[in-house]
């Protein structure tokens, strides 16, 4: 990099020193016979005031030394990146006594501003004497941050002050109080919602019946929150999920879906009214119900061997391997229908008899299920108004 020396100065050589050099020219080179030379400001230096009998007085004249990289302005020099002298993280400074610019490192950076890669970031956190920090120091490009430790406040560069005990207690106590109030409010609102659902689902009447009332959380835990792999089957009004209680009791939970609450309550009340009348070994037994949910849940005994439909169409099934087994399942199904039509009080017509609604337990015993389409027969009634129900086809 070429550096031009510019100043109001010139090299003055004493003509007298050439004749009467002090020390007999021993301290100068042969090419310059003068005794000594110095820089002086030509505007203020007066040769007549200088006594040649000795060295020049340091106060005899003011000397000004100033240099610039180029005589261009910072803006024009910066337009040509190939010749621009200032490197990364630098400032372009103007000369105070004329045209031209010089380069300097930005605050927080150090190094040579003229050589690549330029000025480098100072790690202020490594020099706590020059860059004080009373807390946690973090270096940033050209600067640093200082945060106070947990439980203290203030500017970490100048000092940190601890919170008063009263302030800490107040903030902590207020936060804990808000959390407690929020939890209590959630519990109260949830209980009110469950109580409302219980009353609207006929709980005040059904709780006096000989049927178990299950809790919403109890059934959700038993079915693993109604996980798909727990699903036993799906019908027009809902799905049936397998559940296991903490005492290892297995059950089947019928969860309604896809219809409005008014229609759901009508379907539920119809089915629960039917099932409560039934008590037969070849009819699926109702274990209980849940009334805390918006839509009630029915809980039946779990029948482990699947549906008759499955065993008829599964060639590998051994349940119907003999005519004896087939006749037995048919007879047990007939017994269930006979009970519903003739022995139940009041009698009822199932309305949706099909192989999907006939279940088989671990012994292969037939169990009639799904009374959503059933019809009660009033005493003395001889004619029943019928309509198409169940599964088409």
3-state secondary structure of 76: helix
Provide the token pair at 67. 């240099």
Provide the token pair at 210. 């000989």
Q: What CA–CA distances, in Å, run from 209 to 185, 197, 278, 378?
A: 33, 18, 13, 22
| Whole-number Å distance between alpha carbons of 308 and 301 | 17
DSSP letter for each residue of 263-278: HHHHHHHHHHHHHTT-
The HSE-up count of residue 149 (CA atoms within 13 Å, CB side) is 4
The answer to whether 105 touches 71, Cβ cutoff 8 Å, is no
| Whole-number Å distance between alpha carbons of 217 and 190 | 12
Residues with catalytic roles? 352
Instruction: Enumerate residues 6+ apart whose C-beta is below 8 A from 109.
Output: 89, 90, 119, 120, 121, 122, 142
Provide the token pair at 133. 């920090």
255 is in an annotated binding site: yes
| Whole-number Å distance between alpha carbons of 228 and 257 | 15
- Residues making up the annotated binding site for ATP are 255
- Residues making up the annotated binding site are 255
């Amino acid at each position: 990099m070429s550096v031009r020396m510019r100043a109001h100065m010139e090299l003055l050589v004493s003509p007298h020193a050439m004749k009467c050099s002090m020390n007999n020219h021993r301290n100068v080179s042969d090419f310059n016979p003068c005794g000594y030379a110095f820089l002086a400001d030509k505007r203020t230096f007066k040769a007549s005031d200088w006594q040649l009998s000795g060295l020049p007085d340091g106060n005899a004249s003011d000397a000004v030394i100033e240099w610039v990289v180029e005589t261009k302005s910072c803006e024009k020099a910066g337009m040509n990146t190939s010749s621009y002298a200032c490197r990364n993280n630098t400032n372009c400074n103007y000369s105070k006594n004329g045209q031209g610019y010089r380069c300097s490192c930005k605050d927080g950076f150090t190094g040579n501003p003229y050589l690549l890669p330029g000025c480098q970031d100072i790690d202020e956190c490594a020099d706590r004497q020059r860059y004080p920090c009373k807390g946690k120091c973090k270096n940033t490009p050209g600067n640093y941050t200082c945060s106070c430790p947990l439980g203290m406040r203030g500017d970490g560069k100048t000092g940190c002050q601890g919170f008063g005990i009263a302030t800490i207690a107040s903030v902590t106590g207020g936060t804990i109080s808000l959390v407690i109030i929020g939890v209590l409010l959630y519990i109260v609102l949830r209980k009110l919602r469950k109580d409302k659902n219980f009353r609207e689902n006929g709980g005040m009447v059904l709780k006096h019946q000989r049927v178990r009332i299950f809790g919403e959380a109890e059934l959700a835990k038993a079915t693993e929150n109604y996980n798909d792999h727990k699903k036993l089957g799906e019908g027009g009004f809902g799905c049936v999920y397998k559940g296991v209680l903490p005492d290892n009791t297995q059950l089947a939970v019928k969860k309604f879906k896809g219809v409005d609450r008014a229609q759901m309550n009508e379907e539920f009340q119809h089915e629960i009214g039917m099932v409560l009348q039934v008590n037969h070994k070849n009819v699926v037994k109702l274990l209980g119900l849940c009334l805390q949910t918006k839509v009630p849940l029915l809980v039946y005994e779990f029948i482990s061997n699947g549906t008759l439909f499955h065993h008829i169409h599964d060639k590998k099934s051994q349940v119907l391997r003999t005519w004896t087994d087939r006749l037995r399942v048919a007879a047990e199904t007939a017994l269930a229908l006979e009970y519903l039509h003739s022995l139940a009080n009041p009698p009822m017509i199932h309305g949706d008899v099909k192989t999907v609604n006939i279940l088989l337990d671990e012994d292969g015993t037939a169990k009639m299920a799904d009374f959503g389409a059933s019809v009660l027969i009033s005493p003395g009634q001889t004619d029943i108004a019928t309509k198409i129900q169940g599964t088409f086809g």
